[in-house]
Amino acid sequence: MNRRVSLRAAVAFSCAFLIGCASAAPAPTRSPSPSPTPAEASQSPAALPTATATPRASLEPTATPDALAARTQAELHISGGPDFPLEAFGSLWILTPDADEPSITRVDPTTNEIVAQIPVGTRLCQAIGATDDALWACTRGGVIRVDPETNAVTATVEFPTAEYFGYLPSGEGALWALSGEVTSNNQLVRIDPEGNSVADTFALGFDAEWVTYGEGALWLTDKSAGKLWKFDPETESLTEHADGLTEPGQSAVGAGSVWLAVHADRDSQPGPNGATILRIDPVTGEIQAEFATGGSMFEGGIYASDEAVWVRALAPFLAHIDPQTNEIVETIESNQAGGSVTVAYGSVWATSLEFGKVWRLTP
């Protein structure tokens, strides 16, 4: 696993396992971010004209140089490497693992202001998720349950955690997480959110890079072997769904398909017309469409729904795919390093973990 991890977490891990040190690790090497302050909202100008689409091929940037500013409704300054935004319980929840105290930051979408910060206590496992009545986050040695009414941690579910960066999906009446030792996530954990306990653990036989839920199944990527795996929670069967993939990473489920990032390794480059996003049939494993959105998908993210697919990457900053036509309908170029993306409360939210920013954009 090497999608993203602060130097502080890596050093802390090395000390614990190689040297046995107990002192605090050095500060991360990321550029300093300003301390959390209320977001400064601004009125969004008119939307840009629709860009010319080029399906299943590389797309020359169609946005103007100030496209990000033109789409910005609000720009939030949130230090601590803001990542993995999540819509739940009337708020936007953002993981901030590189803050002085690793936390979940809660944002009120009506005011675009930070209203709470909830400590999680770890930088090694960085993941967030929600069930019907609780927010969950990965912590040292398991996951914590947060009451959205009080922002209080009300339970801890213990199991071994390793280096992981992503989401904790929910489905089939359970919360799901990856488990393992050191840097290998070779187990899938089923968590009972009613009993706040581990209901079952399943051996994977590989190091999982990412896990998501949709179309009645869990989808796990195996970067080293170039495979996408399907886990059926009902039959508890794990099957190889697609192979021959180039460094698969993040995924999302929407519009009846699995959307999978490839070339998601730190040093991977897809080439001028190389695919970076694959649309995969959840039943047959067939690749339904390929999209060349731009550069490496390392430190990126995908949001997928019936209406739109948004891709956040190192370059371009954002790409918008129409799942009905399989066309890249626009790109937004901006040098903002890596981050994640979601759609919530009528807006697109994109983060920059390096620069400590979250943008709220017109769709």
Range of the domain at 49: 7-361
Calpha distance 85→106 (Å, rounded)? 10
pLDDT of residue 10: 40
Task: Match 């105290």 to its residue by tokens.
Answer: 101
**Residue of 280, 293, 278, 302 whose CA lies nearest to 331:** 293
User: What's the whole-number mean pLDDT along residues 101-127?
Assistant: 95
Question: Looking at the domain assignment, is residue 66 inside a domain?
Answer: yes
pLDDT of residue 36: 41
Instruction: Check pLDDT > 80 for residue 29.
Output: no
pLDDT of 189-209, one tens digit each? 999 999 999 999 999 999 999
Please indicate, yes or no, whether the overall pTM of this predicted structure exceeds 0.85. Answer: no
Instruction: Check pLDDT > 50 for residue 33.
Output: no
pLDDT of residue 122: 85
Residue 66: which pLDDT band, with cuts at 50, 70 and 90?
Answer: confident
Q: Share the mean pLDDT of the chain.
A: 85
Calpha distance 46→87 (Å, rounded)? 25
Question: For residues 287-322, b (16+ Cβ closer than 10 Å) or e, as one string?
Answer: eebbbbbbbbbbbbbbbbeeebbbbbbbbbbbbbbb
pLDDT of 74-89, one tens digit each? 999 999 999 999 999 9
pLDDT of 148-203, one tens digit each? 999 999 999 999 999 999 999 999 999 999 999 877 899 999 999 999 999 999 99
Calpha distance 291→294 (Å, rounded)? 9
Counting Cα atoms < 13 Å in the Cβ hemisphere of 345 gives: 19
Residue 4: which pLDDT band, with cuts at 50, 70 and 90?
Answer: low
Instruction: Check pLDDT > 80 for residue 116.
Output: yes
Question: Looking at the domain assignment, is residue 348 inside a domain?
Answer: yes
The tally of domains found in the chain comes to 1
Instruction: Check pLDDT > 50 for residue 266.
Output: yes
pLDDT of residue 103: 97
pLDDT of 305-354, one tens digit each? 999 999 999 999 999 999 999 999 999 999 999 999 999 999 999 999 99
pLDDT of residue 267: 84
Question: Looking at the domain assignment, is residue 56 inside a domain?
Answer: yes
Question: Looking at the domain assignment, is residue 2 inside a domain?
Answer: no
Question: Looking at the domain assignment, is residue 313 inside a domain?
Answer: yes
pLDDT of residue 118: 97
pLDDT of residue 294: 86
Backbone angles phi, psi at 67, to 5 degrees: -60, -40
Question: Looking at the domain assignment, is residue 324 inside a domain?
Answer: yes
Residue 270: which pLDDT band, with cuts at 50, 70 and 90?
Answer: confident
Calpha distance 241→254 (Å, rounded)? 17
Question: Looking at the domain assignment, is residue 1 inside a domain?
Answer: no
User: What's the whole-number mean pLDDT along residues 274-299?
Assistant: 95
Question: For residues 24-52, b (16+ Cβ closer than 10 Å) or e, as one string?
Answer: ebeebebeebeebeebeeeebeeebeebe
Q: What order do you get walking across the sheet with 164-167 strand by strand?
A: 152-158, 142-147, 134-139, 125-131, 164-167
Tell me the CATH number at 83: 2.120.10.80
pLDDT of residue 65: 55
CA dist list (Å): 214 to 218, 220, 266, 281: 7, 11, 27, 12
Question: Looking at the domain assignment, is residue 317 inside a domain?
Answer: yes
pLDDT of residue 321: 98
